[in-house]
Copies of this chain bind each other. A is one copy, B any other.
Amino acid sequence: MASSSESNTRPIRLADIAKAAGVSHGTASNVFSRPEIVREEVRERVKAAAEAMGYAGPDPKGRLLRAGKVNAIGVATTEPLSYFFDDPFARAIMAGISEACDATGAGIALVSAGNQEKLAWNIQSALVDGFILFCIEGGSRLVELTRERKLPFVALELGFDDDTVSAIGVDNVAGARLAAQHLAELGHRRFAVLALPFADGSTGLVSPEKVRTALYTGTRDRLVGYFEAFSRYGVDTAGIPVYETENDEASTRAGLETIFASAAPPTAILAMSDRIAMIAIEWLAARGIAVPGDVSVVGFDGVPDAALCDPPLTTVAQPIAEIGRRAARTILDFDGTVRRETLGVELVVRASSGPPPKTAPKTA
């Protein structure tokens, strides 16, 4: 007994229940996808058969092949997957992407791999209708890999200026100018810059020619913005230390050590990310240097955490959620054109910046 009722071997297919119900597979398919066009009596019979055989419903794998659309957008990065849940900037962007996806019912597939080979495979085999790329380190590699898929994709943070790829970013020059100008107006004249990477895998003080050949134009543009403001206020840009970090704790601390080893340490620090800025504030506090009493710090990004740190961070706020929303929309409403958007930024003045001290800091 229990010879045919035992479905212990392979899963039940639509064709199986069609046969069991004595209808064609076309009709069986209609029962699930357009039930209104099949006669009630037949519909019930098929449903009963499905129920009896333990049918799981039309397999999306099959449907997908036919339909072509996955109804999900892939978000890719070269960082590990946990980056999406740890990094405040990433999280804020994901919130924007989520919003757009929720509105249209699309899903989100997270794709990542530090490992070169796995990254390629993961991009190649991701079941998505398009990609949003977090171009942090190794951005161009990620773009190349993704381009191969011939699916719509959009790069975030404008890591480079290839006009053939869609990208969404902010006006880095204007934002940086705002930040530097704010400090200059407060009276600061001795600055230091803690920069994001100019190229992969290097850190340290940056020479002018390195700036000119920067791989990441976002980094370069921010520096350009800072310098523009400096010149306007008559500050000699040649004397300003620019330290390239990797946007992490180790390299930022190393940069601070270098900068404050100088005979004439800065009274203001321009950090190219809130992350760097917050690490700097912590480092300064640990050394008894008052912020903003001795040294002012201005960040860049405007992540939510920046408002909560101590002291709250003055920063150049990007419309982060909006960037995410637009990126998602770019994929969801893809029309075959290359779309490059540059959004505005806004200086948010909080407590980490103030006038320079009367006497040089760290004298005591």
Measured CB to CB, the residues of A under 8 A from B are 11, 54, 56-58, 60-65, 68, 70-72, 80-82, 84-86, 91, 94-95, 98-99, 101-102, 105, 107-113, 118, 121-122, 124-127, 148-151
Contact = CB atoms under 8 A, between A and B. Distances in A.
Given A54-B150, A125-B63, A150-B56, A109 B108 contact: yes
Contact of A71 (B82, B91, B125, B149): B125
A113 B108 CA distance: 12
Nearest to A100: B81
A109 B107 contact: yes
Given A11-B150, A105-B113, A108-B81, A127 B62 contact: no
Given A82-B98, A95-B86, A148 B56 contact: yes
The copy count of this chain in the complex is 2
B84 A98 contact: yes
Contacts of A60: 124-127
Contacts of A118: 105
A63 B102 CA distance: 28
9 contacts: A56-B148, A56-B151, A57-B148, A63-B125, A85-B85, A86-B91, A86-B95, A107-B111, A109-B110
Given A64-B64, A65-B61, A98-B82, A105 B122 contact: yes
